[in-house]
Structure 1
Amino acid sequence: MLQNSIHYGMHFLVIIGIAYLYDKKHWKKAYLILLATMLVDADHLLASPIFDPERCSINFHVLHSYWAWSIYTLIAIFSKNYWIRLIAIGLSFHMLTDTVDCWLQNL
């Protein structure tokens, strides 16, 4: 129960703060973009079973790999484009959230 609260709290609530810090004037639009980055979970559809509560998604699913996460982070750091950077931040934070979930699984 606590693990789910932390996981979904990070996915839905913490990103409100990220959106606000990223763009105080247009934080609602930024929040929607950050929510949309959860579409990265589409790579779960390639797994069998699609959902396994015991499986850590980090480095299991292709878009959740360390390589992909590295690319998301580099884009977040170096991109000059407002929207591309925000998407990369959202993807990187999604990976962090899933990493925390994996740590909590192993407690």
Structure 2
Amino acid sequence: MLHAFLHITVPGLYALAFHRPHWRRVWAVLASALLLDLDHLWATPFYDPDRCSINFHTFHTYWAIGGYVLLLLPACTRIWAVGFLLHMVLDYTECWPRGIYLP
């Protein structure tokens, strides 16, 4: 439950810190990065509390993360890229207690 709460509050804090004049709109885009979790729908089992999402689910692979980094380059996709990358960082923190670290 804390993990889901962080997926909403961390983007809000980022939006407040770096995009104060338009923080609500930026927060909405950043929070929309939760759409990346649609790839959990075709996982078997659908939910596994002991599974690390990073490099397991389609939109959480290292290749996808590389694509999100490339999305930082055009200004028109930068906020989406930040949202996707924040999502990956938050999901990665769930892997630490399981002893899973980046290679």
Taking structure 2 as the reference length, the TM-score comes to 0.87
Match of 1:20 among 11, 16, 22: 16
Say if 2:94 is the partner of 1:98: no
What are structure 2's unaligned runs of at least 5 residues? none
Corresponding residue for 1:80? 75
Post-superposition Cα deviations, 1:7-30, rounded to whole Å, max 9, x if no partner, equal 234312111111123321110111
1:46 equivalent in structure 2: 42
Paired residue secondary structure (2:94): helix
Question: Matched residues in 2 for 1:74 and 1:22: separation?
Answer: 20
Identity of aligned residues (%): 37
**Distance in 2 (alpha carbons) for counterparts of 1:26 and 1:58:** 31
Contact 1:34 1:87 in 2 (8 A): yes
CA RMSD in angstroms, aligned pairs only: 1.6
Tell me the matched-pair count.
100
Moved over 4 A (4+): none
Q: Are the counterparts in 2 of residues 22 and 30 from structure 1 also a CA contact under 8 Å?
A: no
Does the CA contact (< 8 Å) of 1:58 and 1:95 recur in 2?
Answer: yes
What SS is found at the alignment partner of 1:25?
helix
Q: What's the secondary structure of 2:75's corresponding residue?
A: coil
Q: Describe the superposition over 1:70-91 as per-residue Cα deviations: whole angstroms up to 9, x where unpaired.
A: 1101212x1121xx21111100
Superposition deviation, residue 65 in structure 1: 0.1
